[in-house]
Amino acid sequence: MSRLTVTPDTTPGAPELRTEDPAVIAETLARVGVRFERWELPVSVSPDSDNETILAAFRPHLDRLMGESGAGTADVIKLRPGNEAYPSMRKKFIDEHTHTEDEVRFFVSGGGNFILHLDGRVYDAHCSKGDLISVPTGVKHWFDAGEQPNCTVLRVFTDTTGWTPHYTGDPISALFPAA
Ligand SMILES: [Fe+2]
């Protein structure tokens, strides 16, 4: 189930909005320039399929998205419980940062929280299977898929150097753990 929690950045734990309605999530995020949408999942695809099969299954969606966004390519990342590399990856994701290109992600399975900090508010978007989110260039955010992630995610991008996190040094993410 997708969920959005919006909290003033001065009042951790006291959200002003909490919704599981995908239309309200999309409208609320669109008002601050963040794209969120739900895609219909092809019945044929398993989250454990090989990456080429997954990309082929989503090709019509990806072509449309790339045509609109100008992003050049897509790949697949699978995070599974027990992944030895994940704890160090999680540390990089979980502090507030920005990127030099949009961070576009689609959840083929599982879920995770993209938490955005803009206009004096913290927008915690718990994304789940079927959700697309695009964090715009320069928007402060962090990400958490929990201690034991289990997700298959499409990444849409132009240049992998855009993934480099530019940390803000603001410790705010500790005050707003994934909801
Ligand atoms: Fe990021």
Provide DSSP, 133-148: EEE-TT-EEEEE--SS
Could you tell me the distance, in angstroms and rounded to a whole number, from the CA of residue 93 to the centre of ligand 1?
6
Q: What is the mean pLDDT of residues 11-17?
A: 97
Residue with the larger pLDDT of the pair 161 and 103: 103
Per-residue confidence (pLDDT) for residue 23, from 0 to 100: 97
Neighbouring residues of the ion ligand 1, judged by CB less than 5 Å? 103
Do residues 81 and 148 make contact, with C-beta atoms less than 8 angstroms apart?
yes
Per-residue confidence (pLDDT) for residue 69, from 0 to 100: 76
Average pLDDT, the chain: 94
In the structure, what pLDDT confidence band is assigned to residue 103 with cuts at 50, 70 and 90? Answer: very high
pTM: 0.94
